[in-house]
Each structure stands twice: as structure tokens, then as C-alpha cells.
Structure 1
Amino acid sequence: MRYFSMFSGIGGFELGIEQAAADLGMTAECVGYSEIDKHAIATYEEHFTHDNYGDATLINPHTLPEFDLLVGGFPCQAFSIGGKRLGFEDTRGTLFFDIARILDARQPRFFILENVKGLISHDKGKTFRTILRTLDGLGYDVQWQVLNSKDYGVPQSRERVYLVGNLGGTPRPKVFPSPRPSNPYSTVGLTTEPAVARTLTAGGHSGGNHSGMTILELTGQRSQSQRLYDPAGLSPTISTGGASTGGAEVPKISVGSQIRRLTPIECERLQGFPDEWTIGSDTQRYKQCGNAVTVNVVRYVAGRVLAEATP
């Protein structure tokens, strides 16, 4: 299986695909990637030697090597002329357009795309409908589902929508609906405290579960930076960590009488990466983790796609 990676960040798709291929006793070759953030590139090149095709908007698809699978977690943007039913022209001016034009030109057998859950409801659903219509117009049979990282072996509640496509007329990989695997991180871990936080919200109000929850706030504010989480619970979604706030948005936990934020290594673990995967300042490492895909989830999705491609 040869694949091309777009908006590659620190290589979460690459690592997940490697693991999935190893699970199946096969190999997967990355023929190139596309990334422009210099800090993410530094981390990526610490682990991989693939050619960087740079800015996705400038890629000439006809210069790319042959590949069977396109993967990428693309930024969500408003579509300037969405809804006019002009095929992928509806997406011009967005980064999804560059995925669409490469799919159009190269027609790989499969794709795997990842985005925030909010993509589904963005612009009252118009954005997502335009994406699905565009992919259908390019000849792909598309399936999708919102997956939560906590169901795939990491203690982080992180919901992301995954779209999987196969060219019309080819076998459809059995990816979704995804089974809900038994996972110790779906509930709170062991603790000596009589009540601990499950899915924490400011004030503890969560569908009648207030009595079974504990939350401390550093101030009366409702922002992520002002909350304190129990280390036995699930982590909230790891964000970019505050490239402009010095890590202020990184979740904070209480350890004995001390309060501290999660370390970059802990954030790597929450995303399924090996320790010390990221390089650079702590601020940049937090950002890299926040922008990454969860490796464990990619491992599952890619594994289902690769299984279909196995002879």
C-alpha cells in the first residue's frame, strides 16, 4: 500500500498506518507528505525521511508518485460559494479544495480524512454536505463516523469525524459503524478519593451526574485555563496548548498538595505517540500534540482500510 499524506503535522497518520500495517503483516510506504509548519516539520523529519511537497495549495498532482491511499487532517474553513452545486469548485479557496483536486487528478483507490466534530454542523451542515457531494462527484463511495479517542486506548476525550472513501466499483472497506471496544478509559480510573471527575465541566453540571463528580476551579472563570482536573479522570481534548499563551490552555491536575499542568510527554501519551516524539520548546510541543491526530484511532481506521487491500 503506497500512500500520500497531506497536512501531515508530526506524522500521526504515518505512525498509525505503520502500526496497522504491522498488525496485518504487510507494509505501507509513504511516497511523500505535505506540511508547512517549520516546528512540525522538524519533529516529522526526526522520525521519517519522506519527501516534503510543501504548501498543499501549490502541489501539482501530476508530479506526485503513484499512490493508492490519500490521508490527511485538513483545516475546516467556510466555503465561499458553497451550495451552488458546482462540484469541487464549491470548495475553491479552502484547503479541502486541494485534497479534492489531487483526488480528481490521481484517483487513488482510498482516502482517509480527519476533522473536528464541528465540521458536521458547520454553517448549519452546509459545509459537510458540500464535502460529501464533492467527494461523491469525484467518484468516491464515502462513509463517515465520529470517533472518540477514549475508546481506542488513551485517556483523552477527543471526538473527531473520520471520512473513508473508496473509488466507485471497488470493494467497500468495512470501517463504520465502528464497534465500541471495551476500554478502561471509558470510565474513571482507580482513585483514593470518594468522588472523582468523569467528564469534567465547569461547575460540575452534567446531566444529573453532579453528585458523582468533583471539580475544583482556580478562579470563577469558565475557560479551560482556569479548570483543575482529577488525574484519575479523562483528559479533556488536548488543544494546541497556547502557542500564544505559553501553554495556559494545557489541562492542569492536582498531585497531592500541588497543582501542575500536563507535561509535553503526557500530552504525547494522550495522543498515542511514544515519549519524546516531539521536539522544540514546550510551547511548540504542546501545539504539535494539539494539532495531531490520535495515533490509536488512525491505527484502527487504517487497519480496516488496509485489510481490504490485502490480497
Structure 2
Amino acid sequence: MKFIDFFSGVGGFTRGLELAGHECIGHCEFDKFAEASYRSIHTITEEQRARLGELDKKKRQKEILNSEYLNGEWYANDVRTVRATNMPIADCWTFGAPCQDFSIAGRRAGLDGERSSLVREIFRILEETEEKNKPTWLIYENVKGMLSSNRGLDFLSILSEMDRLGYDAEWQIVNSRWFVPQNRERVYVVGHYRGRSRCSIFPVKGNGGKNSTRQLIGGVGAKTGLYAFGIDKTSNKPQELQISNCLMTKDYGVSKRRSEDTAIAIPVLTPARAEKKQNGRRCKEAGEEMFTLTAQDQHGIAIKVREATKRGYAIAGVGDSINLSVPSSKTRRGRVGENIANTLDTSCNQGVVTPTNDTKGIWAVWSEKYNCYLAIRKLTPKECFRLQGWADDYFERAEFMNSSNQLYKQAGNGVTVNVVQAIGEKI
């Protein structure tokens, strides 16, 4: 099946459907940073990548937007300018239109909002398309809040438009936790063009949430250039320890040196304010899935620390560190320092610190349940991509083009690759 990916972002639909054996022949994306990541992930050749690698990142971002780096794939940067006569014929269109106006975290402007109204552009293009060239399948994704937006009338309007244009629709709320350790409920709508497709795609089922964070959270050492330090009890000074290969959940040994020990990785929303309860829990239990990734919220994990200073702060070493000097901040998400550590390693026998060039500390809170301090750090961009189903080599292609800020945004705005793959396999 050939498909076109509208509102493509970094190409979660593209990757998921390709894993299911389908072929992407075009995409549409407005954000230039997401488009740079998309091309780096999906369209450029290794020869072109090597040539781009000779440029600094800003020049690289600009250069890759030239048409030669599409290598024949159809592209439009603004869905509002797309005309059916200028598009290739495809069997399927996917569109994860902007969700902010449907989200309960936003102002809920619904289909009248500037961004979520863009889904109407898809219906306009469909109306312009000759019947013989209409796609057999439509796959639409949005937040669960779409179902209740404007008392459900917005979702009814979308279904009515599909019906008017000749498509029977089925839908399901799919939670990414069925495939990856992230709680992410999204509505997926599949449209079937009448007379061509009659088979049902839903329900899609996952593995019931039994996911390991073994390969999704952690991954330290030479690849990140970070080192683990611990507190020497005799001198109360940091000393270098063995480096764990990966941060694991409580079911796995934390390091080769003490394989009988176990680690705790607790999902945290807003790492700078672990004890703040606002809009639900800030921390989950060990083994639970991560909170839903968004483009705005900060996400992190709390890691078990057996030894710490009396105040609950780990002693700083040499390198970058999370700056949580104002944990009582009244802003919604708190404040985090500029130099955020990419990885915090752990040892169950000694206090864990991350290298730092100054005396900034890592905030830790005492847990009565686990009878230890829990040091908190922000998730890395790579971990966020992993929680969306991306393999590390694909993340590295996006990292080749963009800053951490943009990568966080791209992960939060995307679809979960594994969910799309499951839908693509049913098709």
C-alpha cells in the first residue's frame, strides 16, 4: 500500500506503516525543525548525510530543506496550499492534525481553533480529488479530548464529513501503554472508502502493558560521555564508581558489580516538583508506565539512592547537573537549570551523583516506602523517542539536525510508532 503522511512531524506514521510493509510516497509538514528531522530520518542518502555533517547544525538545518534531499518523495509544507491535482495518487492518507484545541490541557476551542481546524483542509482536498483517485483508507489520530470537545459535536462533525465524502468510519481509543511503557490515550479513526474496503481494523490489542523499561530508560557510558560518582563515606567526597550499562527496573540487576541489587525507576511528571500534586499525581509507582509525553511538560524518573547527605542532596562531582535550587517555585512546572544532565547512573550501596563543574546539587526526596532517598532527573530526548517506539539509530538521525528542545517537542507531538505499526499490519 502506498500512503501520504499529512502533518507528519518526524514521521511516526511513516515509520510505523513502513514497518508494516507499506510505502510512503509523500508527506506534508509545516514546522521546519520537524521537517529537518523527518528528512534526516527518512529521505536523505548516506552520501548526503556525510556532506551535511561537514556543516554546523544551523547551516545543516537550512541546507536539508532544499528539495534535493527529498530524493523524489512528494512534499508540501502547508496543507492549506495543497491542491488535489498536484498530489500523487495514494492508497492511504494519514493525518494526525494538531491537537491543542481538543486537549483538556488547552482552551478547548475545538474545530473552531486555528490549529485543529486544519483537519478540514484534508476534507477539502478529498472533495477536490476525483473518485477514482480517492484513497481507499484514511487514518486519523488525535487526543482523547476530541471525543468530548464541544459536547461531542466536533467528533460528530468529523465523522459526518467522512460519511459525506464516501467513507465509513470506525474508531478506537488506543493506549500506547499496550506497546511501550507510556500512558498515552489517543483516538484512532480509520475510514474505509465504500465499495473498496469492508474489513474491520479495530480492535487493536497490545501486550496488556507488560513492557520493560530495560532498553527505554538509561543507557549510559561511552555513548553519552557521562560517568557515575558515589560518596566515599570515609572522606565524604565523590569518587568514581563502575558504570552501569543501563538503568533497569526493579526486576533486573542494576550493575554487573552487584547483580543481586535492584533498582527503582519511578516515572515523574515535572521533576523539579516531585511532591507537588497538581492535575493528578506527580509520581507513579515503580514499574508503572511514564506519563503521557507532551511538547510542553517535563518528564523524568526518580532513582533509588541508599546514601545521601543529611539534607537529602547528592554531592556534586564534575559535569552537568539538574539545577533544582528553587523546588518551591510557584510556576506550574518549576524551574530547571540550563545544564541538564543527560543521564544519572545509580548504585544501591552509595549515593549517586552526576558530574558537575560547580556545587549545584541533585534534589532528592526521602521515600518511606522504599526507605531511601530518591534522586530525580529529567528524561533525555533519546529516552522520550524510545517511549514513542523509535529505535536509537533513528533518534540519532533526528539529533543530527536538532537541539534537545526541539527533540523534546517532536517526541511529545508525535504518534507512537508501535501503535501505527499494529494498525498497518491489520490493514
TM class by smaller structure: 0.7 to 0.9
Q: Which amino acid aligns with 1:220?
A: K
Q: 2:8 is matched with which residue?
A: 8
Cα root mean square deviation, aligned: 3.2
Tell me which of 406, 417, 421 is aligned to 1:284: 406
Distance, in Å, in 2 between the alignment partners of 1:273 and 1:93 is 26
Matched ranges for 1:177-188 at <5 A:
177-185=203-211
Q: 1:299 is matched with which residue?
A: 421
Three-state SS of the structure 2 residue aligned to 1:33 is strand
CA shift for structure 1 position 171: 2.7
Indicate whether 1:55 and 2:110 are aligned. Answer: no
Indicate whether 1:44 and 2:99 are aligned. Answer: no
Q: 2:167 is matched with which residue?
A: 140
CA shift for structure 1 position 223: 5.8
- Cα 1:217–1:134 change in 2 (3 A) is same
CA shift for structure 1 position 174: 2.4
- Cα 1:104–1:184 change in 2 (3 A) is same
Partners of 2:92 and 2:136 within 8 A in 1: yes
TM-score (norm 2): 0.57
Matched ranges for 1:10-89 at <5 A:
10-21=10-21, 28-49=22-43, 50-76=73-99, 77=101, 78-80=110-112
Indicate whether 1:100 and 2:222 are aligned. Answer: no
Distance, in Å, in 2 between the alignment partners of 1:164 and 1:237 is 23
Partners of 2:29 and 2:78 within 8 A in 1: yes
Q: Which amino acid aligns with 2:4?
A: F
Distance, in Å, in 2 between the alignment partners of 1:262 and 1:195 is 15
TM-score (norm 1): 0.77
CA shift for structure 1 position 42: 0.9
Q: 2:140 is matched with which residue?
A: 113
Determine which structure has the larger helix proportion and give its number.
Answer: 1
Partners of 1:151 and 1:186 within 8 A in 2: no
Q: 1:267 is matched with which residue?
A: 384
- Cα 1:264–1:201 change in 2 (3 A) is closer
Which one has the largest radius of gyration? 2
Compare 289-298 and 174-183 and name the one that shifted more.
Answer: 174-183
- Cα 1:47–1:156 change in 2 (3 A) is same
Q: 2:366 is matched with which residue?
A: none
Distance, in Å, in 1 between the alignment partners of 2:116 and 2:301 is 41
Percent of aligned pairs with the same residue? Answer: 36
Distance, in Å, in 1 between the alignment partners of 2:174 and 2:166 is 25
Distance, in Å, in 1 between the alignment partners of 2:16 and 2:286 is 26
Distance, in Å, in 1 between the alignment partners of 2:40 and 2:87 is 23
- Cα 1:162–1:270 change in 2 (3 A) is same
Tell me which of 295, 299, 307 is aligned to 1:251: 299
